[in-house]
Structure 1
Amino acid sequence: MQTPISRYWWVFLLRGIAALLIGLLAIFVPGITFGTLVLFLGAYMFIDGIFSIIAGISARKQSRDWGWYIVSGLFGIIIGVITFANPFATGIALIYIAGVWAIVAGIVEIIVAVRLRKEITGEGWYIAGGILTILFGILIFINPVAGALTLTIIFGIYAIVAGVMLVSLSMRLRKKYKSHRSIPVT
Structure 2
Amino acid sequence: MATTILSSAQSAVKNWWVSLLLGILYIIAGVWVFQTPLASYVSLSIIFSIFIFVSGISQIVFSISNKSDIQNWGWYLAGGILDLIIGILLISHPLMTMAILPLYVGFWLLFQGFMAIGLSFQFKSADIPNWGWLLFLGILTLVFAFLLLANPVFAGLSIVYMTAMAFVTAGIFRIFLAFGLKKMKNAID
TM-score when scaled to structure 1? 0.41
Structure index of larger Rg: 1
